[in-house]
Structure 1
Amino acid sequence: MPTPSPIRPYLLEMAGYTPGEQIAGVQIIKLNTNENPYPPAQSVVDAINNAARGLNLYPNATCIPLRKALAAYHGVQPENILVGNGSDEILRIIVHAFIGKGDTLGVVEPSYSLYPVLAQLFEGKTKFYALEGLERLPENVFNGPEPLFIIPNPTPPIGTLFTKAEIARLCRERAPRVVVVDEAYADFAQKDCISLLSEFSNLIITRTFSKSFSLAGLRVGYMIAHPDLINEFNKVKDSYNVNGLSQAAAGAAIAAYNEMRANAACIIATRDKTANTLQNMGYRVHESHGNFLFVVHPDAHKHYLALRERNILVRYFDLPSLRDGMRISMGTEEQMETVIAALKEII
C-alpha cells in the first residue's frame, strides 16, 4: 500500500508544464524554445558586471529604476507597471489574483500551454476556445463569462497576430471581466496593443525580456495595467522577486533598444526567407508574426525526430490540432541554412 501523501490531492493529479527539451554536453542547434540567437548588447553585459559588486545587498524591492525606464519606453507611468521573475511569474501573479477553487480561466487553443497549468495550480478550471483554422477567433470568445481571459498576441505556436480592433472588442464585450494580452513576441510583429490601455481599465498587457531583448537566461518580465490592479497584484508578488543583476541588465537593455530592434529586424528577415524556402520544398507554412514558424507536413513527427538525430532541436506538440506540424524557432542565417539542408536530406 502506498504511503499517504500530505501533498494536496489536486497537485498529485496535475501533469505540470513541460518546457522545451534542454540537452547538455552536445553541440546542437537549439531551435525549440524561441530564444534569441543573438547576444544582448555589450552595455547589458557591462551593467551586469557593475551590478555584481552589490550582490551582498538585496535588490530594489519595487524595481523602481527599471519601472521608470519601462514607463518612459512605453509612454505610461511607473504606477502602471509591475516587474517579475520572467513573464511566467507575472502570469502566475495574475492568475493567483483572479482564479480560485472552481473558477474558470478562458484561453484560446492552441496557445501557451502554461496558462491552464496555472489555473490548475489554484484549483481552477480552463475553458478552451479553439481558433478557427488555427488562426481566427471564434465568435463565442467575445462574450465568454470567465473572470479572466488570456490571449497571446502573436500567439504561439502558430504566430497569428490578432488585430487591435479584435482585442478592443474583447475588452469592451468582456468588461468588467479582465483580458490579458500576452505580448511576448510583439517586437517581431512590430505591432502592439499598448495604446488600448488608456481606453480599457480591464486590460493587462504582459511582456518579457526573454525574446527580443535576448535575456532569457536572466528571467525578467513585466505587466502594464491600471494602477488599481497593480496595487492588488503587489500583494501577491514576492518581496524581492527580481534579482539585482536582472534589474540592471533589463534597464541597460531598454537603454539599448535600438540594438534590440536591429536584431529583431534580422530575425524577421530570416523568418520570412525561411518560410518562403520551406514552402517551395513542399511544407505548408502558417503566416507568423513571431520569431518562429509552424510548418505542416504529413510526416512532421518523422522530420522532427530526424532533425533531432542531426542534433537540431525543434518543437513537436502531441496535440490533435498540431500533430501534423512542428515549430521551428528562428536562428541565425547560418543555422537556418543548416536546418534547410538537413530537411532537404530528410524529405
Structure 2
Amino acid sequence: MNKPFADKLRKIASYVPGEQPQCAGRIKLNANENPYPPSPRVAAALRDFDAATLAFYPDANAHRLKNALAAQNGLKASQVFVGNGSDDVLALAFQSFFCSDQPILYPDITYSFYPVWCGLFRVPYETVPLGADFRVNPRAFDRRSGGVLLPNPNAPTGIGEPLALLEDILRHNADCVVIIDEAYVDFGAESAVSLLPKYENLLIVQTASKSRSLAGLRVGWAFGSETLIGTLEAVKNSYNSYTLDAVAIEAAAASVEDDAYFRKTCKQVMDTREASAEALRALGFSILPSQANFLFATHPQKNAAELFEALRAQNIFVRYFDLPRIDNYLRITVGTDAQMARLTDALKTILS
C-alpha cells in the first residue's frame, strides 16, 4: 500500500522490556522486580484513599511525596523532583540538560534505554568502554562533553563504584550536568546524596520500583540543586503538569515513610543474593560482584543463550542480552529463597 506520509514519521529503535510471561507457576527473574510486597502502609493508604477525590486533578507538585523524600534524605523539598517512574525522570533530564552540540558520555555496557533516549531527543553521545573487569575508569571521562550519565550500581553488571570515584568524575566535569542513576543503590551501594552540597551540577535519580516493591505504581524521583530541579520542573510543566496521579502520590509517600520495612526487605534481598551467588558458583558459574538486586552470571562451558532457552522451557524467566562483551552472561533477578532454590535445581539438571 502506498503511504506517502511514511517518510515523515520518526524512525527509531525502541527499548525492548523484559518478557512479561503470564503462564501459571512461572518464576519471573527477568525484570529486576522485588519478590516481596510493598510496605503494609501502602496497602493501608490504598484502602483509605477517598475515590471521590479522583474527580479533581492531583497536586501537580506532589508536596506530600516530596516532603517525605526531602525529610528522609536531609534535603529541602525544592531539591526533589518526582515523575512517572525513573524512566520518565531520566527522559525529562535528557531534554532539560543535554542540549549542547557536544556528545554526552556513558559506559558502553549499561542500561539499554540510554541510546533510545539519545535517538528520540537527538542527543549526540559517545560510549566510554568499561575495563575488562567491567569497572569504570574515571580518567576516560576527562574530556569535553555535553554531560555525563553513570548508573551506580551499573546494569546489567550489578557492579557499584565507590563514592570517591563518583566525586572524581564530578570534579573533572564541572562544566556539564552529571547524572548518577541510582535505581539499585539501596541493595548495598553508597548513594551520592552526600555530594549534593558540593556539586550543583549533580543530579541523582532513584526509583520506587526496585527496593520499594512499587514497579506497578510507576514512581521515580531526582535529587539535585535548586537550579537543576527548577529546570526539570519547567520542562515537565511545558507539556504535562500532572506526572503523578493522586493514588501514586499517597502510596509512594506511605512507602517512603516506612523506613523499617524498607530496610528489612532490602536486607532479605541482599542475603538471598549472596547465598544464591555461592550456589551458582558451586555449579561452575562466574558471578560479578553485585550491589544490585540481580546477579550477572556466566558459565565457562555452557552457552548463555542455550541456558536462557532451557530455563524458559521450565517457566523460569531470566534476561539474556545478545550484545558484544556480554553475550555469554545471564542477568538473574534475585527472587525469594524458594524461587532461587528452584532456579538452582533447574540449572543443576540442565548442566548435567
Q: Same fold (TM over 0.5)?
A: yes
Partner of 2:62: 63
Q: In the superposition, relative to structure 1, how do residues 76 and 8 fare at CA in structure 2: closer, same or farther (>3 Å)?
A: farther
Deviation at 1:318, TM superposition (A): 0.6
Matched, 1:332 2:330: no
Alpha-carbon distance in 2 for matches of 1:101, 1:18 = 28
CA contact under 8 A between 1:134 and 1:158: conserved in structure 2? no
Deviation at 1:115, TM superposition (A): 1.0
Give the counterpart of 2:313 among 309, 312, 317.
Answer: 309
**Helix, strand or coil: the match of 1:198?**
coil
Partner of 2:295: 293
Spell out, residue by residue over 1:272-301, the C-alpha distance to the aligned partner (whole angstroms, 9 max, x if none).
001011111101111100000000124111
How many residues were matched structurally?
Answer: 345
CA contact under 8 A between 2:154 and 2:160: conserved in structure 1? yes
Alpha-carbon distance in 1 for matches of 2:194, 2:100 = 34
Q: In the superposition, relative to structure 1, how do residues 60 and 36 fare at CA in structure 2: closer, same or farther (>3 Å)?
A: same
Partner of 1:23: 21
Alpha-carbon distance in 1 for matches of 2:212, 2:349 = 34
1:290 maps to a residue whose letter is: A
CA contact under 8 A between 2:160 and 2:189: conserved in structure 1? no
1:119 maps to a residue whose letter is: C
Partner of 1:123: 122
CA contact under 8 A between 2:101 and 2:146: conserved in structure 1? no
Alpha-carbon distance in 2 for matches of 1:327, 1:138 = 23
CA contact under 8 A between 2:159 and 2:291: conserved in structure 1? yes
RMSD: 1.5
Alpha-carbon distance in 2 for matches of 1:196, 1:279 = 36
Deviation at 1:49, TM superposition (A): 2.5
Partner of 2:280: 278
2:263 maps to a residue whose letter is: R
CA contact under 8 A between 1:116 and 1:125: conserved in structure 2? no
2:5 maps to a residue whose letter is: S
Q: In the superposition, relative to structure 1, how do residues 101 and 168 fare at CA in structure 2: closer, same or farther (>3 Å)?
A: closer
Give the counterpart of 1:43 among 19, 41, 44.
Answer: 41
Alpha-carbon distance in 1 for matches of 2:50, 2:308 = 41
Alpha-carbon distance in 2 for matches of 1:325, 1:131 = 16
Partner of 2:198: 199
Matched, 1:323 2:327: yes
CA contact under 8 A between 1:185 and 1:290: conserved in structure 2? yes
Q: In the superposition, relative to structure 1, how do residues 46 and 7 fare at CA in structure 2: closer, same or farther (>3 Å)?
A: farther
Partner of 2:224: 225
Deviation at 1:149, TM superposition (A): 1.2
Spell out, residue by residue over 1:41-86, the C-alpha distance to the aligned partner (whole angstroms, 9 max, x if none).
2210111222252222211100111101100000110000000000
Deviation at 1:346, TM superposition (A): 0.5
CA contact under 8 A between 1:271 and 1:293: conserved in structure 2? yes
**Helix, strand or coil: the match of 1:44?**
helix
Q: In the superposition, relative to structure 1, how do residues 302 and 112 fare at CA in structure 2: closer, same or farther (>3 Å)?
A: same
Partner of 1:145: 144
Deviation at 1:103, TM superposition (A): 4.7
In the TM superposition, 1:104-115 aligns within 5 A as: 104-115=103-114
CA contact under 8 A between 1:131 and 1:137: conserved in structure 2? yes
2:278 maps to a residue whose letter is: N
Spell out, residue by residue over 1:207-258, the C-alpha distance to the aligned partner (whole angstroms, 9 max, x if none).
0000000000000000001001111111111210001111111110011121
CA contact under 8 A between 1:101 and 1:122: conserved in structure 2? no
Alpha-carbon distance in 2 for matches of 1:226, 1:4 = 47
Structure 1 unaligned regions, length at least 5: none
CA contact under 8 A between 1:185 and 1:211: conserved in structure 2? yes
1:268 maps to a residue whose letter is: M
1:111 maps to a residue whose letter is: T
In the TM superposition, 1:245-264 aligns within 5 A as: 245-264=247-266
Alpha-carbon distance in 1 for matches of 2:222, 2:256 = 15
Alpha-carbon distance in 2 for matches of 1:8, 1:141 = 38
**Helix, strand or coil: the match of 1:319?**
coil
Deviation at 1:193, TM superposition (A): 1.1
